[in-house]
Amino acid sequence: MLQTLVICLFILSIWALLKSATDFVNVWKSEAPLHWQNWGEPEFVDLYRGMFGELWPVIFGKACEEAGSDLLVKKRNDIRFVLKIIILLFIASTAFNGFYFEVKPRG
């Protein structure tokens, strides 16, 4: 029962990540359009795919402070918070299996 709850919360947190990334891009476009253009005008999909790649400094670095928008920094912190929750829920869900992870075909 508890494992099902943790898995459902993990899936719900993925939705929260998508929502916070969408909000971040919308605020980025409106609050700091020049900064957004300097980073190649990324849309939601570009941000989501490049979060751990070329857009790493925007989400995890100090690039948002350069834009000079407190709201943009708050939205960036929301993404960071959701990612921390996802990591904790992933660890909790794998703890139910004793941290044993194996992928094999069903059959």
In a domain, 75, yes or no: yes
Residues 6+ apart with CB under 8 A from 42: 25, 36, 50, 55
- Residue 15's pLDDT is what? 93
Segments forming the whole domain that contains residue 6 = 2-95
CB 70 within 8 Å of CB 44: no
In a domain, 29, yes or no: yes
Q: Kindly state the average pLDDT of the residues 8-29.
A: 92
Question: Shortest CA distance to 16 belongs to which of 107, 93, 89?
Answer: 89
In a domain, 102, yes or no: no
Domain count, the chain: 1
To which residue do tokens 């794998």 refer?
Answer: 94
User: Regarding predicted confidence, which is higher, 44 or 16?
Assistant: 16
In a domain, 17, yes or no: yes
Q: Kindly state the average pLDDT of the residues 73-97.
A: 89
- Residue 101's pLDDT is what? 66
DSSP alpha helix (H) spans, the chain: 2-31, 33-38, 44-50, 56-59, 63-67, 70-95
Percent of the chain with pLDDT over 70: 95
In a domain, 105, yes or no: no
User: Regarding predicted confidence, which is higher, 102 or 35?
Assistant: 35
CB 30 within 8 Å of CB 72: no
Whether the predicted pLDDT of 1 surpasses 80: no
In a domain, 106, yes or no: no
- Residue 96's pLDDT is what? 76
